């Protein structure tokens, strides 16, 4: 269904992103390598959010909960147990997935603003538990000094490790969006009523998608724990849940890699702005308003309109 | 779901018994019993509020009955959920086009086919590889093949209604419920759609029940006519029989029928 021009353009974007992700770390300093790592992790987090938003048409204000669960699972396993590293990366996916299934069971019974509010409520619940359970999670101190395999202690190699995992995750999510499940999500987004009438158990499908998004959020948190070597309850807070939302809006929810573009812009802006001012929320808030008012469809959407002859 | 249903022709394809349904104290359906035989092309008419849409909503499982039973192909389907009843073989096309606006015409129909086939939990096969021939066949039979790559939201009103029908056909129904299929159409378009409906009924042995306000459509195509008024049936028979029914004439206030 794609015309040749569009396929060529997608390949151009893709090649650019691939080149930019592989080459620079070889030439830039350790600080910027870490910035790139952060861009990747948050970009994947935002793309997982977009499975719920762009693909299925609902907003979750609580994806931070699953990110935090993933981060804390990895953190706790690495600091308090001596289980093998790969296990410490797989378990968080299971934990966040199960939690997303349990919370999602209630959340998908609602839509629109009610879906959003309930997702927020559950996230605050997770935040609360992490914050208060001092003995287990370290409370508001979080968990510090998370050990990682020796090779990954070097930011250079941690970056490529993150790149491999994020790339694999993106490929899986891409296939999901192109599959019949992905199209069923679009159908539910466009017209959930009709989707029921053609024989789809809408709630069950929404729940499965919600769980998938939660699992990838958990993977993001897990990568974060390894990268940052510390985790805090903030990861589950609604302000952190807002980050993938902002990134998706900035980049454009109609495009698979839109949220990743958003992550690039958001993170780089953060890195440039915060050394000079404490008014970061003002800056990012203004940018969001600007994008929503004048660049709907996000950066990618706006560029697509300019390139596409219509 | 194209069962060799002709062999079971002694069993009504749809039977509702003593249906009752109220909304906030308003009785939409009061003690309605109705039978539909396989292969029928029948119409249900009645003034607004008579219960036609509610009947469709109950039969498809969109609303739960307050009391009464619904049988489909001899099986009790009362209380079954919407999506289960759809998979059993009942499809519905809506009066106001109920399509997927951001998907293409092709993708709209394919979605219905994939849903009926139970392939919606496939996470890896690109959807573009599924149900190609079936989708094309339905697009062609409904006259929207030329619009295959057009976003459904951008179709003309007539094409939207054709797509509406195509989506319903995608679920391979044995019983098709049509909500005012010619609403808003010109005379030419009405003829096209109704001839398609007739072809589907005769060639594919598809049982079709439709509601209409356009009496020329009803008398031109329906072989049986049922009249609802305030939630009950007040007449049932061939269109000619119903036309001369006194009660029907009173209800329609001076022979609109």
Classify residue A98: in a domain, yes or no.
Answer: yes
Cβ-based neighbour number of residue A124 at 10 Å: 18
Identify whether residues B202 and B226 lie together within a single domain.
yes
Chain B contact set for A310 (CB, 8 A)? none
Beta carbons of B60 and B177 less than 8 angstroms apart: yes
Q: What is the pLDDT of residues A33-73, one digit of tens each?
A: 999 999 999 999 999 999 999 999 999 999 999 999 999 99
Chain A contact set for B122 (CB, 8 A)? 179-181
Whether residue A199 and residue B116 make contact (CB cut-off 8 A), yes or no, is yes
CA angle, residues A54, B100, A303, in degrees to nearest 5:
45
- Answer with the one of B112, B143, B172 that is the final residue of a domain: B172
Identify whether residues B109 and B85 lie together within a single domain.
no
Whether residue A194 and residue B130 make contact (CB cut-off 8 A), yes or no, is no
The more confidently predicted of residues A174 and B5 is A174
A134 burial level (CB within 10 Å; 0-12, 13-18, 19+): exposed
CA dihedral B168, B172, B173, B174 (to 10 degrees): 150
Identify whether residues B141 and B26 lie together within a single domain.
no
When pLDDT is cut at 50, 70 and 90, the band that residue A310 belongs to is very low
Using the structure block, give the residue that is written with the tokens 């992700």: A21
d(CA A75, CA A147): 8
Could you list the residue range(s) of the whole structural domain that residue A83 is in?
Answer: 37-237
Identify whether residues B74 and B189 lie together within a single domain.
yes
Classify residue B111: in a domain, yes or no.
Answer: yes
**Confidence at residue B68, expressed as pLDDT on a 0 to 100 scale:** 94
**How many structural domains does chain B have?**
2
Please name which of B149, B139, B141, B159 lies closest in space to residue B103, comparing C-alpha atoms: B149
Identify whether residues B199 and B74 lie together within a single domain.
yes
Please state, rounded to an integer, the average pLDDT across all residues of chain A.
92
- Answer with the one of B141, B172, B203 that is the final residue of a domain: B172
Residue B52 belongs to a domain with what CATH number?
Answer: 3.40.50.300
Chain B contact set for A198 (CB, 8 A)? 86, 91, 111-112, 115-116, 167, 170-171
**Confidence at residue A305, expressed as pLDDT on a 0 to 100 scale:** 75
CA dihedral B161, B162, B163, B164 (to 10 degrees): 50
Beta carbons of A51 and A100 less than 8 angstroms apart: no
Q: What is the pLDDT of residues A266-299, one digit of tens each?
A: 999 999 999 988 888 899 999 999 999 998 888 8
For chain B, give the secondary structure using H, E and C: CCCCHHHHCCCCCEEEEEEEEEECCEEEEEEEEEEECCCCEEEEECCCCCCHHHHHHHHCCCCCCCEEEEEECCEECCCCCHHHHHHHCEEEECCCCCCCCCCEHHHHHHHHHHHHHCCCCCCCCEHHHCCHHHHHHHHHHCCCHHHCCCEHHHCCHHHHHHHHHHHHHHCCCCEEEEECCCCCCCHHHHHHHHHHHHHHHHHCCCEEEEECCCHHHHHHHCCEEEEEECCEEEEEECHHHHHCCHHHHHHCCCCCC
d(CA B209, CA B45): 11
Distance between B45 CA and the closest CA of chain A, angstroms: 23
Whether residue B98 and residue A194 make contact (CB cut-off 8 A), yes or no, is yes
Chain B contact set for A186 (CB, 8 A)? 100, 102-103
DSSP class of residue A119 equals: H
Q: Which two tokens stand for residue B105?
A: 């015409």
Identify whether residues B58 and B177 lie together within a single domain.
yes
**Confidence at residue A282, expressed as pLDDT on a 0 to 100 scale:** 92
Whether residue B123 and residue A175 make contact (CB cut-off 8 A), yes or no, is yes
**Confidence at residue A4, expressed as pLDDT on a 0 to 100 scale:** 59
d(CA A251, CA B72): 50
Q: Which two tokens stand for residue A234?
A: 């903030």
User: What CA–CA distances, in Å, run from A186 to A89, A115, A125, A190, A253?
Assistant: 31, 17, 30, 6, 13
Whether residue B100 and residue A187 make contact (CB cut-off 8 A), yes or no, is yes
Classify residue B1: in a domain, yes or no.
Answer: no
Please state, rounded to an integer, the average pLDDT across all residues of chain B.
89
- In our burial notation (b when 16+ CB lie closer than 10 A, e otherwise), range A279-297 reads eeeebbeebbeebeeebeb
Whether residue A178 and residue B128 make contact (CB cut-off 8 A), yes or no, is yes
Please name which of A212, A170, A202, A177 lies closest in space to residue A63, comparing C-alpha atoms: A212
Identify whether residues B74 and B179 lie together within a single domain.
yes
Classify residue A189: in a domain, yes or no.
Answer: yes
Classify residue A261: in a domain, yes or no.
Answer: no
Classify residue A13: in a domain, yes or no.
Answer: no
The percent of residues in chain A predicted with pLDDT above 90, rounded, is 75
Report pTM: 0.92
Q: How far apart are the first and last CA of chain A?
A: 17
- Answer with the one of B156, B172, B188 that is the final residue of a domain: B172
What's the whole-number mean pLDDT along residues B94-100?
90
User: What CA–CA distances, in Å, run from A192 to A186, A200, A261?
Assistant: 9, 9, 29
Whether residue B111 and residue A183 make contact (CB cut-off 8 A), yes or no, is yes
Classify residue B230: in a domain, yes or no.
Answer: yes
Using the structure block, give the residue that is written with the tokens 């079936």: B134
**pLDDT at A189 exceeding the cut of 70:** yes
d(CA A5, CA A11): 10
Identify whether residues B150 and B196 lie together within a single domain.
no
Q: What is the pLDDT of residues B33-49, one digit of tens each?
A: 999 999 999 999 988 88
The C-alpha R_g of chain B, in whole angstroms, comes to 18
**Confidence at residue A11, expressed as pLDDT on a 0 to 100 scale:** 77
Classify residue B94: in a domain, yes or no.
Answer: no
Whether residue B103 and residue A199 make contact (CB cut-off 8 A), yes or no, is no
Could you list the residue range(s) of the whole structural domain that residue B22 is in?
Answer: 7-89+173-257
**How many structural domains does chain A have?**
1
Beta carbons of B256 and B236 less than 8 angstroms apart: no
DSSP class of residue A154 equals: S
**Confidence at residue A47, expressed as pLDDT on a 0 to 100 scale:** 98
Chain B contact set for A195 (CB, 8 A)? 111, 115
Beta carbons of B194 and B219 less than 8 angstroms apart: no
Identify whether residues B72 and B191 lie together within a single domain.
yes
Distance between B12 CA and the closest CA of chain A, angstroms: 22
Distance between B98 CA and the closest CA of chain A, angstroms: 6
Identify whether residues B140 and B243 lie together within a single domain.
no
Structure ipTM: 0.89
Beta carbons of A76 and A209 less than 8 angstroms apart: no
Identify whether residues B137 and B231 lie together within a single domain.
no
Nearest CA in chain A to B120: A181
Classify residue B65: in a domain, yes or no.
Answer: yes
**Confidence at residue A302, expressed as pLDDT on a 0 to 100 scale:** 84
d(CA A223, CA A165): 9
Whether residue A197 and residue B126 make contact (CB cut-off 8 A), yes or no, is no
When pLDDT is cut at 50, 70 and 90, the band that residue B257 belongs to is very low
User: What CA–CA distances, in Å, run from B184 to B49, B196, B200, B210, B213?
Assistant: 20, 17, 22, 15, 11
Classify residue B231: in a domain, yes or no.
Answer: yes
Beta carbons of B21 and B42 less than 8 angstroms apart: no
When pLDDT is cut at 50, 70 and 90, the band that residue A1 belongs to is very low
Using the structure block, give the residue that is written with the tokens 């009249």: B227
Q: What is the pLDDT of residues B166-223, one digit of tens each?
A: 999 999 999 999 999 988 888 888 998 999 999 999 988 899 999 998 888 999 999 9
Entry field: residues in chain A: 310
Is residue A45 classed as helix, strand or coil in its secondary structure? helix
Chain B interface, best mutation among A180, A253, A255, A256, by max B CB count within 10 A: A180
Identify whether residues B79 and B204 lie together within a single domain.
yes
**Confidence at residue B249, expressed as pLDDT on a 0 to 100 scale:** 79
Chain B contact set for A3 (CB, 8 A)? none
Please name which of A266, A272, A236, A235 lies closest in space to residue A249, comparing C-alpha atoms: A266
User: What CA–CA distances, in Å, run from A166 to A20, A145, A158, A183, A288?
Assistant: 15, 23, 12, 23, 26
CA atoms within 13 A on the CB side of B64: 4
Classify residue B2: in a domain, yes or no.
Answer: no
């Amino acid at each position: 269904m794609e015309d040749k021009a569009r396929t060529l353009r997608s390949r151009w974007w893709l090649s650019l992103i691939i080149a930019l992700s592989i080459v620079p770390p070889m030439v830039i300093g350790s600080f910027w390598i870490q910035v790139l790592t952060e861009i990747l992790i948050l970009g994947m987090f935002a793309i997982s959010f977009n499975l719920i938003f762009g693909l299925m048409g609902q907003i979750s204000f609580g994806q931070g909960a699953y990110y935090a669960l993933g981060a804390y699972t990895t953190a706790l396993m690495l600091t308090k147990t001596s289980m093998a590293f790969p296990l410490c990366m797989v378990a968080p996916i299971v934990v966040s997935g199960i939690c997303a299934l349990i919370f999602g069971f209630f959340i998908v019974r609602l839509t629109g603003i009610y879906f959003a509010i309930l997702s927020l409520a559950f996230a605050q619940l997770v935040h609360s538990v992490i914050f208060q359970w001092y003995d287990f999670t370290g409370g508001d101190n979080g968990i510090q000094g998370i050990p990682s395999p020796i090779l990954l202690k070097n930011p250079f190699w941690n970056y490529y490790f993150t790149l491999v995992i994020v790339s694999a995750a993106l490929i899986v999510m891409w296939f999901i969006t192109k599959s019949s499940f992905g199209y069923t999500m679009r159908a539910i987004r466009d017209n959930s009523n009709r989707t029921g009438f053609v024989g789809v158990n809408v709630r069950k499908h929404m729940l499965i998608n919600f769980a998938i998004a939660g699992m990838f959020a958990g993977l993001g948190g897990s990568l974060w724990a390894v990268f940052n070597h510390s985790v805090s309850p903030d990861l589950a807070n609604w302000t952190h849940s807002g980050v993938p939302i902002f990134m998706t809006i900035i980049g454009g929810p109609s495009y698979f890699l839109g949220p990743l573009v958003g992550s690039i812009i958001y993170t780089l802006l953060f890195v440039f702005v915060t050394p000079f001012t404490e008014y970061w929320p003002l800056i990012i808030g203004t940018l969001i308003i600007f994008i929503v008012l004048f660049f709907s469809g996000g950066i990618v959407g706006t560029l697509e309109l300019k390139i596409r002859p219509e | 779901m194209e069962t060799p249903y002709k062999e079971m022709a002694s069993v009504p394809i749809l039977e509702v018994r003593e249906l009752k349904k109220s909304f906030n104290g308003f009785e939409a359906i009061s003690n309605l019993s109705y039978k539909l035989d396989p292969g029928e092309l029948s119409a249900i008419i009645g003034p607004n509020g008579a219960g036609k849409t509610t009947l469709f909503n109950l039969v498809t499982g969109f609303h739960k009955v307050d009391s009464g039973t619904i049988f489909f192909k001899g099986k009790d389907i009362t209380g079954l959920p919407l999506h289960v009843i759809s998979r059993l073989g009942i499809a519905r096309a809506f009066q106001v086009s109920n399509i997927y606006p951001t998907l293409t015409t092709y993708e709209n129909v394919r979605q219905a086919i994939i849903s009926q086939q139970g392939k919606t939990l496939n996470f890896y096969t690109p959807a573009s590889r599924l149900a190609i021939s079936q989708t094309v066949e339905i697009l062609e039979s409904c006259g929207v093949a030329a619009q295959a790559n057009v976003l459904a939201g951008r179709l003309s009103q007539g094409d939207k209604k054709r797509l509406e029908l195509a989506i319903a056909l995608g679920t391979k129904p044995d019983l098709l419920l049509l909500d005012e299929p010619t609403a808003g159409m010109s005379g030419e378009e009405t003829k096209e759609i109704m001839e398609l409906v007739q072809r589907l009924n005769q060639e594919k042995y598809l049982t079709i029940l439709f509601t209409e306000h356009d009496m020329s459509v009803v008398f031109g195509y329906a072989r049986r006519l049922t009249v609802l008024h305030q939630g009950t049936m007040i007449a049932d028979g061939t269109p000619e029989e119903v036309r001369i029914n006194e009660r029907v004439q009173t209800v329609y206030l001076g022979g609109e029928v």
